[in-house]
Amino acid sequence: MDQLIAQFVEYLQTKKYSANSIQNHRLDLRRFKGWLEGDGDISLARLQKLNAAEIQNYADTLEQTVKSRTVARHLSSLRLFFYYLEQLGMIEASPLDLIKFPNIDYAPPEMLSQEEIVALLEAPSLNHYLGLRDRSLLELTYSSGLKIKELLDLDIEDLFLDLGFLKVRGKRERMVPMTSKAVEVLKAYLETARIPRLLNKEDPCLFPNRNGVRMTRIGFWNMVKKHARRAGIQSNINPRMLRHSFAMHLIQNGMDLTSIKTLFGYATLSATAQYAHVNTPDYSEVFHKFHPRGQKHTQEETF
């Protein structure tokens, strides 16, 4: 089974799953393998004989020690793994097809108030290249609701500042609008702070760290905590809260869930659909209308 898991991980990498997702799937499958080892044989033939009752027994075992949300994640990992085996013709049908996933009570996501967001965004000093970079990172995260990986994977050619859009690459490539404030800060950052800090001047990465190479998740996390302290934010902040706050503030201001889904890229977009958004005034207009730092909210501000 170890070899099958390794092949499955390679498959996920070709599908551009994030490193965190791949690691979670790997760990979930190894836990399942450990549970199966009670039977001694974990060959492909053993996997082919697995039935829904055994999978349900495994889920019941998990529920004794972890929350329903974690059980659902483990089952999702198994479902993806057995779908992979089914696609390769290694099994006839997935035993997960007959499994009912546990009901999950979703708690409201943690978020910052609009006042806290403003304090956080304005915490970095614009008189220093790191301040300009950090302000750009924070503005862009909150402006466009990006995942941290999506943000840190951005290259210079992914920005279309004159259009007010950026291209998010990865599993679901899409075009995402930016607020006028984010565009303004990014222009200042690109003009004065990015290129001098690159270790390799030809490196396309948008946000280098102190060493001149692409910033890491840990580096971003430390940056957020540092500026949260400066902003006097008492919440136990984490980078995901910026993404949640982005969505919740838009909803509070009137944007519908369908538009949020589009912004988050939960549906695969074709190349035509990506650029159709740029050419649709209503889509851009509704974004700037409802975003707290959109044009209507910042037209009186100066940089």
Predicted confidence at residue 183, as pLDDT, reads 93
Per-residue b/e over 217-241, b at no fewer than 16 CB within 10 Å? eebbeebbeebbeebebeeebebeb
Its sign, for the CA torsion 149, 128, 125, 161, is negative
Q: Does residue 157 have a pLDDT over 90?
A: yes
Percentage of the chain lying above the pLDDT 70 cut: 80
Q: What is the pTM of this model?
A: 0.59
Residue 101 has pLDDT above 70, yes or no: yes
Q: Where in the chain is the domain with CATH 1.10.443.10?
A: 114-298
Q: How confident is the model at residue 40 (pLDDT cuts 50, 70, 90)?
A: low
Fold of the CATH domain 114-298: hpI Integrase; Chain A (1.10.443)
Band (256; pLDDT cuts 50, 70, 90): low
Q: What is the mean pLDDT of the chain?
A: 80
Q: Residue 42: is its pLDDT beyond 80?
A: no
Determine the 3-state secondary structure of 208 from DSSP: strand
Lowest mean pLDDT of 113-117, 147-151, 255-259, name the range: 255-259
**What are the start and end residues of each CATH 1.10.150.130 domain in the chain?**
2-98
C-alpha torsion 26→30→36→39, nearest 10: 130
- The tens digit of pLDDT for each residue in 281-301 reads 455 666 677 677 776 555 444
- Six-digit token pair at 204? 């396309």
Please spell the DSSP secondary structure of 72-125, one letter per residue: HHHHHHHHHHHHHHHHTTSSSS-GGGGPPPPP--PPPPP---HHHHHHHHT-S-
How would CATH label the architecture of 2-98? Orthogonal Bundle (1.10)
